[in-house]
Amino acid sequence: MVRIKRHKELDYLEVSNRISQAKISLQGAHIFHFQAKGKQPLLWLSESSFFKKNKAIRGGIPICWPWFGPHKKDPDLPNHGFARTSLWEHLKTQELSDTETKVTLRLSSSKESLKLWPYRFELTLEIHIGAQLQVSLNTKNLDNKAFTITNALHTYLSIADINTVFIDGLDKKIYYDKVDDSFNNVQEGRLLFTKETDRIYQNISSELIIQDNNRRIRVKTEGSHTLVIWNPGKELADKMPDLSDHTTMLCVESANTLEDESLIRPDKSHRLTTIISQD
């Protein structure tokens, strides 16, 4: 079942089936809630998120596209691109069974987007809501020239406590550390959080396991080799007016960034997927 609702300035879809529920804002195709029945929510949402037009929601899964982070050449362009603040179209909702619902949203190039990024494109987001949450971002090149994108499904996971959570699956992986701007660091063992952490891990192919208090969250990625891990730590979080409590959030982001850019030729597509589950 799908219902259209509004929170502050933003319209959203509330989707539910026998075993799970999700909320998806039409601005940004932004999933800001997912919960399987009888389980804790998987996604974190800041209590102080603005829910304003042209402002990304703080929490859930912001879509960073067509560039991740600051624009390479023009720092005045929006951080993480414009997909997360654009108004998407709800194409369809399909009840695949009584335990799985698929929602598809679309963003097409427009006069406004061409001013920010000079290519014609079609973006679709396919969301499977069931026992797990599966999200695929498809980029199609509708232009007559090739373009390059970096992108991310900037997932904010809800966790019990940043001081005790840890991540398995990154041992010996190479990462770029944004906090001190250093390249070629090597992860030793599991990743724990003692301070601001902002890293881009490379050559990721297997599933990650986030051990959170009494549950395990699993994140699988398809169509990317980079993974971004972010927690702002207390000092930075205190400066962010829309970030309520950094100790209960952890971003684990399937991404294509750094050397993992995607070149897409005319008529060709790229697909980035993240699958999040818990046990």
Please select the residue that binds ligand TA6; options are 29, 250, 253, 272, rule is CB under 6 A: 253
Please select the residue that binds ligand TA6; options are 14, 122, 198, 261, rule is CB under 6 A: 198
Closest separation in Å from C-beta 10 to ligand TA6: 16
Of residues 146-185, those binding ligand TA6 (CB under 6 A):
154, 178
Please select the residue that binds ligand TA6; options are 230, 266, 275, 278, rule is CB under 6 A: 230
**Contact by Cβ (8 Å): 233, 108:** no
**Contact by Cβ (8 Å): 228, 200:** yes
Please select the residue that binds ligand TA6; options are 2, 16, 39, 69, rule is CB under 6 A: 69
Please select the residue that binds ligand TA6; options are 57, 61, 162, 228, rule is CB under 6 A: 228
Nearer to ligand TA6 by Cβ, of 56 and 217: the residue is 56
Closest separation in Å from C-beta 240 to ligand TA6: 7
Which is the catalytic residue, given 253, 259, 261, 270?
253
Closest separation in Å from C-beta 37 to ligand TA6: 30
The string of DSSP codes covering the chain is: -EEEEEETTEEEEEEE-SSEEEEEETBTTEEEEEEETTS--SB-B-TT----TTS--SBSB-EEBSSSSS-SS-TTSPTTBSGGGSBPEEEEEEEEETTEEEEEEEEE--HHHHHHS---EEEEEEEEESSSEEEEEEEEE-SSS-EEE-EEE--EEE-S-TTT-EEES-TT-EEEETTTTEEEEE--SSEE-SS-EEEEE-S--S-EEEEETTEEEEEEEES-SEEEEEE-HHHHHHT-TT---GGGEEEEEEEE-TT--EEE-TT-EEEEEEEEEE-
Which is the catalytic residue, given 30, 33, 154, 246?
154
When asked if residue 50 is in the footprint of ligand TA6 (CB under 6 A), the reply is no
Establish whether 90 is a catalytic residue.
no
Nearer to ligand TA6 by Cβ, of 59 and 130: the residue is 59
Closest separation in Å from C-beta 253 to ligand TA6: 6
Establish whether 30 is a catalytic residue.
no
Closest separation in Å from C-beta 87 to ligand TA6: 18
Catalytic positions, written as ranges:
154, 253
Residues that bind ligand TA6 (CB under 6 A): 56, 69, 79-80, 154, 178, 198, 228, 230, 251, 253
